[in-house]
């Protein structure tokens, strides 16, 4: 559904990405992991239209596409939920869900229609928020993350990119967000999750793609891999003998 092909990005003398390739497929969760400075954030910016690669290409359904801005990405059905969530905490849930995409008729807002659509969307994701008319500032961390993910679905995207969706969340809130990620997969979306938490990665992903120093360092089928093999690919170490499930450079 979305692919990066030999993507390279330089910032002066610093090469953030050096020929990175990645495939995102419908109905699958791909976890992108790597140490700080591995190039994860730069790749997310490329796929979300924030930066343009110096070399390589981004393809959708096998055809090259040009992502010159986040608007281009959204138009092509690529939605990104950044780590800071970018929610307006003084506005309620409904206003945040439709911020910039308000429902109007003859230039007049239609609040009842937006509230009904918000309730339907949250219900379809099994997101439980007692009062969607309270300011987002009054919600828990897990509820805010759920609102941010739900907002990404308003435009009916094909691809959803989640940057550290469980960062700074408690155990119960993390479980709620992980369940929500599975629901996105069940809706047939291509989902990419960027995370440092390997337990969360193993609980939700179908494949794990490892970046190291701006390059592909390994790809694993989650069900067939071991934590030791993934950590070895992340750190550049040697995986334990017999660690299965790796392809490419990260193979044990």
Which residues, 6 or more positions from 63, have their beta carbon under 8 angstroms from its beta carbon? Answer: none
Residue 72's SS3 state is: helix
The pLDDT value recorded for residue 247 is 47
The pLDDT value recorded for residue 24 is 96
**Residue 8 contacts residue 18 (beta carbons within 8 Å):** yes
**For 143, phi and psi rounded to 5 degrees?**
-65, -40
Domain that holds residue 73: 2-250
Angle of helix 111-124 relative to helix 141-152, nearest 10 degrees, comes to 110
The pLDDT value recorded for residue 72 is 93
Structure tokens at 105: 């008729």
Strand (E) or helix (H) holding 191: strand 190-194
CA atoms within 13 A on the CB side of 159: 22
pLDDT tens, N- to C-terminus, the chain (252 residues)? 899 999 999 999 999 999 999 999 999 999 999 999 899 999 999 999 999 999 999 999 889 999 999 999 999 999 999 888 888 999 999 999 988 777 777 777 778 888 999 999 999 888 889 899 999 999 988 899 899 999 988 888 999 999 998 887 888 888 889 999 999 999 999 999 999 899 999 999 999 999 999 999 999 999 999 999 999 999 987 554 334 444 444 443
Structure tokens at 159: 């691809």
The pLDDT value recorded for residue 33 is 96
How far, in Å, CA of 125 to CA of 129, rounded? 11
Which residue do the tokens 């939605």 mark?
79
CB neighbour burial string for 3-26, b if at least 16 within 10 angstroms, e if fewer: bbbebbbeeeeebbbbebebbbee
How far, in Å, CA of 125 to CA of 179, rounded? 9
Which residues, 6 or more positions from 135, have their beta carbon under 8 angstroms from its beta carbon? Answer: 89, 90, 91, 92
**Residue 193 contacts residue 32 (beta carbons within 8 Å):** yes
User: Do β-strands 159-163 and 78-81 pair in parallel, antiparallel, or remain unpaired?
Assistant: parallel
The pLDDT value recorded for residue 243 is 41
State the CATH number of the domain containing residue 37: 3.40.50.300
Q: Number of folded domains in the chain?
A: 1
How far, in Å, CA of 207 to CA of 88, rounded? 33
The pLDDT value recorded for residue 252 is 35
pTM: 0.86
User: Do β-strands 108-109 and 104-105 pair in parallel, antiparallel, or remain unpaired?
Assistant: antiparallel
């Amino acid at each position: 559904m979305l692919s990066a092909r030999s993507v390279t990005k330089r910032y002066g003398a610093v090469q953030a990405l050096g020929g990175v390739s990645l495939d995102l497929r419908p109905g699958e969760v791909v976890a992108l992991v790597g140490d700080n400075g591995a190039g994860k954030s730069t790749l997310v910016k490329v796929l979300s239209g924030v930066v343009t690669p110096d070399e390589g290409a981004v393809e959708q359904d096998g055809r090259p596409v040009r992502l010159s801005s986040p608007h281009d990405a959204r138009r092509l059905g690529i939605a990104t939920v950044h780590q800071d969530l970018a929610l307006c905490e003084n506005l309620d849930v409904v206003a945040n869900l439709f911020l910039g995409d308000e429902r109007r008729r003859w230039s007049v807002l239609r609040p009842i229609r937006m509230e009904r659509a918000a309730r339907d969307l949250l219900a379809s994701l099994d997101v439980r928020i007692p009062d969607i008319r309270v300011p987002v500032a009054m919600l828990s961390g897990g509820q805010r993350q759920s609102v941010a993910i739900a907002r990404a679905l308003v435009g009916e995207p094909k691809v959803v990119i989640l940057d550290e969706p469980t960062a700074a969340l408690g155990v119960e809130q993390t479980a709620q967000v992980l369940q929500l990620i599975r629901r996105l997969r069940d809706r047939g979306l291509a989902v990419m999750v960027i995370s440092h938490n390997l337990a969360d990665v193993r609980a939700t992903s179908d494949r794990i793609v490892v970046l190291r120093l701006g390059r592909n360092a390994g790809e694993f089928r989650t069900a067939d891999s071991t934590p030791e093999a993934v950590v070895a690919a992340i750190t550049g170490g040697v995986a334990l003998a017999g660690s299965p499930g790796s392809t490419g450079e990260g193979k044990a």
